[in-house]
Amino acid sequence: MPLRSVRAEVAPYVTKDGSEIRELMHPGVHGNAAQSIAEATVAPGARTQLHRHRATEEIYHFTQGEGTMTLGAERFAVRVGDTVCIPPGTPHCVQNTGRVAMKILCACAPAYSHDDTELL
């Protein structure tokens, strides 16, 4: 049987950085091997907490909204279609500067873990 997840059936939760997350595929839930993908939602005017992951490399792909991303010492605008790689250990956060919810696909390798998330 293929590993499968249906977005409408995945309950969201609020993660350590303050964003609403839907774990679309995660080894701890779905049985895949080594990575995770989630959809993050950041409300208009909201900002995630600055944080880093010691072991995890993340890739953010912005599918809705617009905002500002902090990545290490850099700060830059992000919008639909942008993709950003976040190396392990790099402080990062996003702020939604638009009028609609910001949606981000977050791919993590190894898979996301609360224990690997350090708030700064």
Phi-psi region for residue 87, left (φ > 0), alpha (ψ -120 to 50) or beta? Answer: beta
Q: How far apart are CA 91 and CA 67, in angstroms?
A: 17
Q: What is the average per-residue pLDDT within 101-109?
A: 96
Domain that holds residue 70: 13-115
Residue 52: give its domain's CATH number.
2.60.120.10
Note if the pTM is more than 0.75: yes
Total of domains in the chain: 1
Percent of the chain with pLDDT over 70: 98
Contact 51, 17 (CB under 8 A): yes
Contact 84, 70 (CB under 8 A): no
Q: What is the average per-residue pLDDT within 3-14?
A: 82
Question: For residue 9, what pLDDT band results from cuts at 50, 70 and 90?
Answer: confident
Give the number of other CB atoms < 10 A from CB of residue 74: 9
Q: What is the average per-residue pLDDT within 103-116?
A: 93
Q: Which residues pair with 23 in a beta bridge?
A: 38
Token look-up 């900002």 returns: 47
Q: Is residue 5 part of a domain?
A: no
Collapsed DSSP state (helix, strand, coil) of residue 105: strand
Q: Is residue 98 part of a domain?
A: yes
Question: For residue 2, what pLDDT band results from cuts at 50, 70 and 90?
Answer: low
Instruction: Dump pLDDT digits (tens) for 48-81.
Output: 999 999 999 999 999 999 999 999 999 999 999 9
> Looking at residue 13, what is its pLDDT?
84
Contact 76, 62 (CB under 8 A): no
Question: For residue 1, what pLDDT band results from cuts at 50, 70 and 90?
Answer: very low
Q: Is residue 2 part of a domain?
A: no
